[in-house]
Amino acid sequence: MSNKYNTANVEEWAPTLRAGSEILLSGVVYTARDAAHKRINALLDEGKPLPFDLKNATVYYAGPTPEKEGMPIGSCGPTTSTRMDVFSPRFLDLGLKCMIGKGNRGQEVIDAIIRNKAVYLCAIGGAGALAARCVKKLDVIAFEDLGCESVKRLEIEDFPLYVGIDCAGGSLFAAK
């Protein structure tokens, strides 16, 4: 893989990617799973500040395990993305540009990806220990009471990913 991208300029490169492409991603990503998505959605409903700015953000659907000795994180594999589908169109319409997870997405999410020139990237399921090697720093930034499902700010380097759904609606999951 030689296509390297940084989350700092996701709004520039997200529209250029095509389904099936392999990339290496570096920069800041935020972990958020089901429980965190529910709370972020509630904060939006209440007009309260969010734990991170959705504009041009990258969210990784993961619930990392506690750190291992000498590492900032334990296992850090992706969770099934469809569980976040109920929230994703709203978050995308508010500026989210990149989602990382595993598995296909529903049509409403695909439509929101297209509408917002965003991208859905896939991490390899079952390779959480390998993914953890790409994490250079971790800070819990919200909902600490959720444990592994708290929102974390990760700094990653050369995280190997596949483009699952591109901004034109191309899909790694489409039947050939």
Supply the pTM of this predicted model.
Answer: 0.95
Question: Residue 73: CB partners within 8 Å, gap ≥ 6?
Answer: 64, 65, 67, 132, 135, 138, 154
How many Å apart are CA 11 and CA 23, to the nearest integer? 16
The β-bridge partners of 163 are 121
The residue assigned the tokens 């992706």 is 78
Q: Can you give the residue ranges of every domain in the chain?
A: 4-165
Question: What's the rounded Cα separation, in Å, for the pair 127 and 55?
Answer: 29
Q: From 141, 169, 32, select the one nearest 91 (Cα to Cα).
A: 32
The Cα 117–Cα 123 span in angstroms is 20
What CATH code is assigned to 4-165? 3.20.130.10
- In this structure, the strands spanning 98-101 and 119-122 are parallel
- List the chain pLDDT tens, one digit each, 176 residues: 469 999 999 999 999 999 999 999 999 999 999 999 999 999 999 999 999 999 999 999 998 888 888 889 888 989 999 999 999 999 999 999 999 999 999 999 999 999 999 999 999 877 788 889 999 999 999 999 999 999 999 999 999 999 999 999 999 998 76
Distance CA 10, CA 23 (A): 13
